[in-house]
Amino acid sequence: AELVVLYMWPREEGWDYELVDAYQKRGGGLIVIHMALMQGSGEEWSKRIGLAWDRKRDGTKWGVLPTPITLTEAARESPIFERFPERLDLADEFYWELRGDTTKITPLVTSPAGPAIANKPLPDPPNIDDLDGKAWPVMWTTEVGRGRVFVSGVGHNYFTFNDPHFRIILLRAMAWTMNESFDPFKPLVTAHLER
């Protein structure tokens, strides 16, 4: 495989990090979406994808994604976000206070966070006064071995995958991880509209 896309979290038992390491060493690409950030304590998984869910009691928090989200300078230079506006609306959930080394990732999209929720239905987007004012990574890239990784902390809501902007981001990220052109992926952006 040249690309593996993960949406659900990998099983904690029997997870073979050596297999992932060999895959990334030879140049295999990874796309990690939302719940696939959860793997064990997050310590080992973060070494392969940059940041991961921290299962410690005071670890990762989650809540409603405040919109609009902000593209970083790196995103404006990335083919993944070519010609995108500086700010973008996405209705979703996201995670913050992830485990890992932020100096080893390239944040592409950031957002302030708050308030955290715990196993409750997602409320309306938070008021700006309730946000922490920090720039938490929402989407990022990293390179491990010869392999490229794109991570999206959003993707909780199934309807997010019907958003043409999100589809473009994911499909461009797939092309980027494989060092391929985005052109063959373009028809997939609007494929659901043609039915």
Sequential pLDDT tens for the chain (195 residues): 899 999 986 666 667 899 999 999 999 999 999 999 998 888 999 999 999 999 877 789 998 888 889 999 999 999 999 999 999 998 899 899 999 999 999 999 999 998 877 555 656 667 788 889 999 999 999 999 999 999 999 999 989 998 989 999 999 999 999 999 888 887 887 776 555
Measured CA to CA, the distance from residue 4 to residue 149 in angstroms comes to 10
pLDDT of residue 193: 59
**Helix, strand, coil in percent for the chain, rounding step 5:** 30, 25, 45
pLDDT of residue 13: 62
Query: Of all helices (H) and strands (E), which one includes residue 109?
Result: strand 106-111
| Residue 126 exposed, middle or buried by CB count within 10 Å (0-12, 13-18, 19+) | middle
| Residue 88 neighbours by CB under 8 Å, 6+ apart | 67, 68, 69, 71, 109, 165
